[in-house]
Amino acid sequence: GAIPSGQGSGFVWDTEGHIVTNDHVVAGADELQVSFPDGTTLEAEVIGMDADSDLAVIRVDPTLVDLVPVERGSMDDLAAGERAIAIGNPFGFEGTMTTGIVSALGRSIPATTGFDIPQAIQTDAAINPGNSGGPLLNSLGQVIGVNAQIESSSGSNSGIGFAIPISIVERVIPALIQDGVYRHAYLGLTGGTYTRAWAEALGFPEDAQGAYVHDVVSGGP
């Protein structure tokens, strides 16, 4: 039978051959190949992976291809309503560009580890399977996020896509390049926002405010 293979997208981070993609794009892969727009296809090795932020760094030999790193944007200048451009390989169609707007900021999206990825960018730029790991750009062509997920009942684009924000990418990627891992801070508890509806059941005052702790991780922080 055919060898099972998957595909995703990515972008050049620096001139040393490091390429950013999603953790879920490279997870479980025995070997990796990167195809560049000029037709060059190179073997790549995994440098670091972080399932909690769904980011990974792979590396190609920088002497074999002309590498042009992306320009990075800033979350500070970003607002809902601004143009958003996604580039990737949806369904294997290489180098596809789709446009839309930044639909919302500050969304939380689930990682495969049970943690949430905070501050995600929601966009209606069409993101489909194969777009994962590709860049989300602002109108200046600067990377503002890494396209990661779609919200869909059918598995195809429904106008709700999510990107991991460049602010998280700029924290995680240098650590993956240097150490191969990123150590996240976490509280080690689960809970919810305290509401008046709970006051009677818990015997707390109605005007109390804060978080109600459900569970604390054993041996956690």
| Residues noted as catalytic | 24, 54, 132
Sign of CA dihedral 193, 198, 203, 208: positive
Q: What are phi and psi of 75, to 5 degrees?
A: -70, -25
Give the CA distances from residue 75 to residues 46, 101, 124, 168, in Å, rounded to whole numbers and listed in that order: 27, 15, 18, 10
Please say whether the beta carbons of 147 and 88 come within 8 A. Answer: yes
Give the CA distances from residue 116 to residues 52, 144, 186, in Å, rounded to whole numbers and listed in that order: 8, 19, 11
- Long-range CB pairs of 184-193, under 8 A, 24+ apart, other chains included: 184/52, 184/53, 184/115, 186/115, 186/220, 186/221, 187/220, 187/221, 188/216, 188/217, 188/220, 188/221, 189/213, 189/214, 189/215, 189/216, 189/217, 189/220, 190/214, 190/215, 191/215
- Listed in sequence order, the residues at least 6 apart from 180 whose beta carbon sits closer than 8 Å to its beta carbon are 47, 48, 49
Structure token digits, residue 123: 């966009």
